[in-house]
Amino acid sequence: MFLSGWAAQPAAAVVSSVNVQPFLLDTIEFRGVPLGGWYQFPDKVAESLDLLSRCANSLARCPKRNVVSLLAETAKMRRYEPYQMLAAVNRLANRHPYRSDLENFHKSEHWASPLEFLIRSGDCEDFAIFKYALLRHLGMSADSLRIVLLRRKAGRPRFYDHT
């Protein structure tokens, strides 16, 4: 799973920002909706951030026990330097097992919301979306984050991150 210090910023239209951002692995950056296969990205992340915020304000009234547990685990992360926060969120998310969409949702492709990931885990993009939402909850600005979607070119070797 690739976690960058940047994630896609929702926008009204897809706009190439190739002249603004550096190339990453011979790629071009596009900002906005649709992001990959998930048109509800901004709404689902906003819903998750709202629930995290409401639960953080009143743990006793939080309807989701797993969210209470997550908030307790991440409370001290707000004081971290950005690079420490990225590393801590990455470690926390990567404790979840990889689960394919077929195994998890009985369909070939499903982009899980951050709260779905917390309950069921997920595949590559689900890890990235969860990390993005958690970093936003912890105070990182959307402008400082990107979710990077990569598609391997035919004939190119696969890269695996074993860290």
Residue 133: domain span: 37-141
What does the block give as tokens for 103? 């195994």
The stretches of the chain forming alpha helices (DSSP H) are 41-57, 65-74, 82-94, 101-105, 114-120, 124-137
By DSSP bridging, strand 15-16 and strand 30-31 are antiparallel
Helices and strands (DSSP H and E) totals, the chain: 6, 2
7 contacts 145 by C-beta, under 8 angstroms: yes
Residue 26 forms part of a structural domain:
no
Number of domains in the chain: 1
Which residues have a Cβ under 8 Å from the Cβ of 63 and sit 6 or more positions away? none
Residue 88 domain flag: yes
- Which residue in this structure is represented by tokens 């690079």? 83
Residue 1 lies in a domain: no
158 in a structural domain: no
Is residue 13 a part of any domain in this protein? no
Is 0.85 surpassed by the pTM of this model?
Answer: no
Residue 113 is assigned to a structural domain of this protein: yes
Residue 85 lies in a domain: yes
Q: Are 30 and 16 in contact (CB under 8 A)?
A: yes
Q: Is 7 a member of any domain?
A: no
Per-residue pLDDT in tens (0 to 9) along the chain, 163 residues = 344 433 333 333 334 444 455 555 666 666 655 555 566 777 888 999 999 999 999 989 898 899 999 999 999 999 999 999 999 999 999 999 999 999 999 998 888 889 999 999 999 889 999 999 999 999 999 888 887 766 666 666 655 544 4
